[in-house]
Amino acid sequence: MTSPTPVARPSLPRRLLRHLVRFLLLSAVLLGPNLVFFGRWHAPTQPIPAVAATPDDQRAAAGLPAGLASDLAATLRESRDRAGLPSLSAAIAFDGQLQWAGATGLADIEAGRAATVASRYRTGSVAKPITAVALMRLVEAGKLDLDAPLSTYLPQLPDTLQPITARQLASHRGGIRHYSRLPAWWMGWHESYSRKPYVTVADGLELFVDDAPEFAPGTGFLYSTFGYSLLSRQMEAASGRSFPELLQDEVFAPAGMNATAVDRAGDMPERVAFYEAEGGRYTPSYPIDSSYKIAGGGLVSTPSDLVRLGQGLLGDRLLSEAGRQALWTPLALADGTMNPENYGVGWRIDTSTRLLGASRPTRVLHHGGTQPGAAAFFMLVPEHGIVVTVMSNSGTGTARAEAQEAAYALVRQVVDR
């Protein structure tokens, strides 16, 4: 009987080659569009034009020594040059008033438009302490209970979200997830690069509202911009006003923040152009729509406006002493341990030895922000009556760290004057 002829199988190297080809094809389909996005929108390639011929803009209060004003301007310029940013803008208040504001560099590189103290920048997460002030004003007006469950105001939410409170949302202890865990350069699918417009706060909740919390309310800490979106919807329900109306009525108008607004698609007066810059090179930022995250990162402002907010908080103009302490008290987890960021209600609270040195530990109340085309740092130093803000129209590289370091340097110059 004749034995059947065995079927020839590809050799091992040929099989491996086929698998490799399939893997490469699949990778090209999945990653290709995102690598193109990364190269086009996130990899600085063009040199930032020299701005030596562009005069810096600054405003100084009457009575501020000319030498100090000059030193503050030089510090800001050096910070911009060191980080290779398109522009930096800053403002600082002390002795009870806004003393100095300055801007250096280009608000719009393509148009050759210089940054001025009126230029409006994206706030990034500096929107969160602004939202917290509006929240506390609702609490002090008796409109909202910080510790009442969401079910009190939004009974239609999924059952898993009902026990969460406003205080937990505002301190990132509610368990609401943050953005997608995909890498940030995976722009095609990453939520922080959303281009979808949302007409209302409620519409934007679709991104996460059906996702189960990451932990039981109060038992953990997870920084979450989506948590602030949910908080803003609760504030709307409690007050009967839209969230933009709330911000205008409760924060912008009473604080004198005339340049601060919700970041909208299309042209906005005085708004800067947005870039990703590092080492003196840039590329335009990927265009985004921030309408899904107004409360946590969807505003534009100026350093001077944010300093005005800080001035209002250092006095009694916006909140009572009890209200301010509610914002500025770090909150522990259910097991009694402190949350890892010393976060209160919308603010980080720290005792800094970096600001004035180890021999002068200083309490600081602060928040930073980063998003496509923007970095910002906002800080109050109550012991010295100082409020400072620094903003940039780039969000990559060292922009966020440079904004903070510039703010620290400005404060040192004022304290040691």
Amino acid 280: pLDDT? 87
Q: Tell me the three state secondary structure of residue 24.
A: helix
State phi, psi for 126 to the nearest 5 degrees.
Answer: -65, -10
Please report the domains of the chain, with CATH numbers, ordered by start residue: 57-415 (3.40.710.10)
Cα-based distances in Å from 402 to 155, 206, 342: 44, 35, 22
pLDDT of residue 53: 46
Q: Which residues contact 327 (CB under 8 A, 6 or more apart)?
A: 129, 132, 133, 136, 319, 344, 345, 346, 347
Contact predicate 88/343, CB 8 Å: no
Among 132-141, 142-151, 187-196, 350-359, the minimum mean pLDDT is found in 187-196
Question: Letter for the amino acid at 279?
Answer: G
Query: What torsion do the CA atoms of 92, 93, 98, 100 make, to the nearest 10 degrees?
Result: -40
Least confident of 59-68, 147-156, 179-188: 179-188
pLDDT per position as a tens digit, 233-242: 999 999 999 9
The stretches of 88-247 forming alpha helices (DSSP H) are: 127-140, 166-170, 201-204, 225-239, 243-247
Q: Is it the case that residue 320 has pLDDT exceeding 60?
A: yes
Residue 371 DSSP code:
E
Q: Tell me: pLDDT of 116 over 70.
A: yes
* pLDDT per residue as tens digits for the range 32-85: 555 545 445 556 678 888 765 456 899 999 999 999 999 999 999 999 999 999
Q: Nearest-CA neighbor of 329 among 383, 303, 297, 365?
A: 365
Read off the pLDDT of each residue in 95-106 and give the average, rounded to a whole number. 97
Three-state DSSP state, 276: strand
Question: What percent of the chain lies above the pLDDT cut of 90?
Answer: 79
- As a whole number, mean pLDDT of residues 193-198 equals 84
pLDDT at 215 over 60: yes
d(CA 52, CA 381): 33
DSSP string, 281-333: EEEEPPP---GGGHHHH-EEE-HHHHHHHHHHHHTTSSS-HHHHHHHTS--B-
Single pTM value for the model:
0.89
**pLDDT tens-digit map of 359-393:** 999 999 999 999 999 999 999 999 999 999 999 99
For range 301-323, the mean pLDDT: 97
